[in-house]
Chain A
Amino acid sequence: DTGVSQDPRHKITKRGQNVTFRCDPISEHNRLYWYRQTLGQGPEFLTYFQNEAQLEKSRLLSDRFSAERPKGSFSTLEIQRTEQGDSAMYLCASRPTTGFGYTFGSGTRLTVV
């Protein structure tokens, strides 16, 4: 059990470019979550997978954001046509089921210039 891994740790991109982040959850955890966190704020929910099914997506999330979890293993989060407001820490977390705490990855810090 190596914990939740996220890649890359840091990403600097120009406005308008597309970016993709990867998350590898703990292998026996079937629930995977993406959150976004800005400085001084708590993590904000983006989307949730149970195995390969994306069961919930935040209404705050624009159509520029998409996430996948093929085969119920790793997950990717893509942001198209990035904007400066997308700059944030993107956190991935997993857990085996409800009733358990989340294990967070170290996050991907996105800076849009």
Chain B
Amino acid sequence: QQPVQSPQAVILREGEDAVINCSSSKALYSVHWYRQKHGEAPVFLMILLKGGEQKGHEKISASFNEKKQQSSLYLTASQLSYSGTYFCGTEHYGGATNKLIFGTGTLLAVQP
């Protein structure tokens, strides 16, 4: 039931782009994306509520393919501050829309 993220880890140079994928085995009501730095709490980035919806946050954007039960997070022109672990969180239909189930996580390291 836990959404699966890929890749598990990625190393970038500043200015490079990355894509993080989140895939669920159950129909999705919404997808959240969070970034967590070491020793800190997760920080909310964005929520996607409709199939096909795309949202942006500075140079970070995301898409939601409801039919494929997938979401992708796009990081463009990465900065050192983007380093951290990225989690997707999913909410599902059928009475389970009240809590997030967090994914397996993707560790992103941006190097100078």
Contact = CB atoms under 8 A, between A and B. Distances in A.
Interface of A: 31, 33, 35, 40-45, 48, 50, 55-56, 91, 98-107
B102 interface: yes
B48 to A, nearest CB: 11
Contact of B47 (A33, A99, A104, A107): A99
Interface residues of B, number: 25
A98 B91 contact: yes
Contacts of B99: 33, 45, 48, 56
A101 B47 contact: yes
Interface of B: 2, 30, 32, 34, 40-47, 49, 87, 89, 91, 97-105
A55 to B, nearest CB: 6
A98 B49 CA distance: 10
A105 B41 contact: yes
